[in-house]
Amino acid sequence: MGALQSSPGQPEYVDLKEKTGFSFSQIRVLHNRFKLLSHNGETLKRDHFNSIPDLACNPIRSQIIEAFFDRRNFRQNGEGPVDEIHFEEFLMVMSHFKAPSPRMIEERESVRREKLRFIFNMHDTDNDGTITLEEYRHVIDELLSLSEALEKDTAKGIADAAMLEVASTSMGHMEPDEFYEGITFEHFLKLLKGFEIELKMNVHFSMMDTPTFCK
């Protein structure tokens, strides 16, 4: 199946494998999925994601979709959104969800940074390097958006409480008239230090041989 279609041959896979760390079979499976989603096109657009039925019930779907089109996640030191992505970028985004190999401490630390960076980018929608209170509130609003019984102020309260916690743990001492600009990446790291995200933020890519269909 692979050879007949217009799929990248093995050499490109090798290149991708090195960049992302996926195995050949994983790349192949993901490529098939990519083709399915993009209706055999070369690029994937935002609309293509709408054809996934299960994603519709996800409260943070828009943020997830945005993450795919965010240059910061392409590991190319770019910034800003794009309108369509190629398979390579798709794979790059996916590679953030690979499980770390059980190896040395340093690698774990960098893996953790990388995953937390991904989440940070998802929160920081205006690309300014900090998560402001408004952005954080937006996150919580989205999270709670699916439940009918929502009052704005509890969400705000939660966001405020969370923000205050970050500020307290990161800044320690602030004058009353100082202003805490927003959560920087370093603060974010410190905040989620005990969260063990490198163990949690993983998707099982090896078992994906049976693609499900979308509309």
Partner 1 sequence: MPAKRDSHSPAGKSLPERGLLLLIVLVLLQGSVLPLGAASSPNTSRNDYVDNPQVKVGKSNYTKKAFPVLTLDYHHIQAPFEISLWILLASLMKLGFHLIPRLSGIVPESCLLITVGLLVGGLIKLAGEDVPPVLDSRLFFLCLLPPIILDAGYFLPIRPFMENLGTILMFAVVGTLWNAFFIGGLLYAVCQIQPANPSILHKIELLPCLLFGSIISAVDPVAVLAVFEEIHINELLHILVFGESLLNDAVTVVLYHLFEEYSGAGTVTVLDCFLGIISFLVVAIGGVLVGVIYGLLAAFTSRFTSHVRVIEPLFVFVYAYMAYLSAEVFHLSGIMALIACGATMRPYVEANISHKSHTTVKYFLKMWSSVSETLIFIFLGVATVDGPHHWNWTFVTVTVLLCLVSRVIGVVGLTYVINKFRIVKLTTKDQFIIAYGGLRGAIAFSLGFLLKKDLFPMREMFLTAIITVVFFTVFVQGMTIQPLVELLAVKKKQEAKRTINEEIHTQFLDHLLTGIEDICGHYGHHHWKDKLNRFNKKYVKKCLIAGERSKEPQLIAFYHKMEFKQAIEMVESGGGFKMPSAMPSTVSMQNIQPKKPPPAKPVEKAEKAPSQLPKGREEEIRKILRSNLQRTRLRLRSYNRHTLVADPFEDGFDDLLIKKQKMIELEKKIKDMNNYLTVPAAPPDSPTMCRARLSSGKDTDFKPAQQQKGNKTGPDPQSYRAKPESDSVPTIHVDLASPQSPDSVNVMDEFRRAGQQRGGERGEEDQGLMMRPHKTGEGADGKDPQKLTRCLSDPGPSADEEEDQPFLA
Q: Is residue 192 part of the contact set for partner 1 (CB under 8 A)?
A: yes
Residues of this chain, 113-132, that bind partner 1 according to CB under 8 A = 119, 122, 132
Q: Does 17 bind partner 1 (CB under 8 A)?
A: no
80 binds partner 1 (CB under 8 A): no
Among residues 119, 190, 139, 132, the alpha carbon closest in space to that of 163 is found at: 132
**How much is the CA Rg of the chain, to the nearest whole Å?**
19
- The answer to whether 82 contacts partner 1 (rule: CB under 8 A) is no
To partner 1, the closest distance from the beta carbon of 5 in angstroms equals 18
Contacts of 31 (CB under 8 A, 6+ apart): 7, 8, 87
- Closer of 18 and 148 to partner 1 (Cβ): 148
State the residue for tokens 């990248």. 8
Q: How far is the CB of 156 from partner 1 (least distance, A)?
A: 5
Min dist CB 42 to partner 1, Å, is: 18
Considering only CA atoms, which of 203, 215, 202, 206 is closest in space to residue 28? 206
Residue 49 to residue 61: CA distance in whole angstroms: 9
CB nearer partner 1, residue 7 or residue 132:
132
By CB under 8 A, residue 25 contacts partner 1: no
Closest to partner 1 by CB, 1 or 77:
1
The interface with partner 1 within residues 147-186 (CB under 8 A) comprises 147-151, 153-154, 156-158, 160-169, 171-180
Q: How far is the CB of 15 from partner 1 (least distance, A)?
A: 21
The residue (of 11 and 147) whose beta carbon lies closer to partner 1 is 147
Number of neighbours of residue 139 by Cβ within 10 angstroms: 20
CB 19 within 8 A of CB 93: no
Q: By three-state DSSP, how is residue 70 classified?
A: strand
Number of residues that bind partner 1 (CB under 8 A): 77
Q: Give the nearer residue to partner 1 in terms of CB position, either 82 or 143.
A: 143
C-alpha distances out from residue 127 to 45, 76, 119, 215, Å: 21, 15, 13, 33
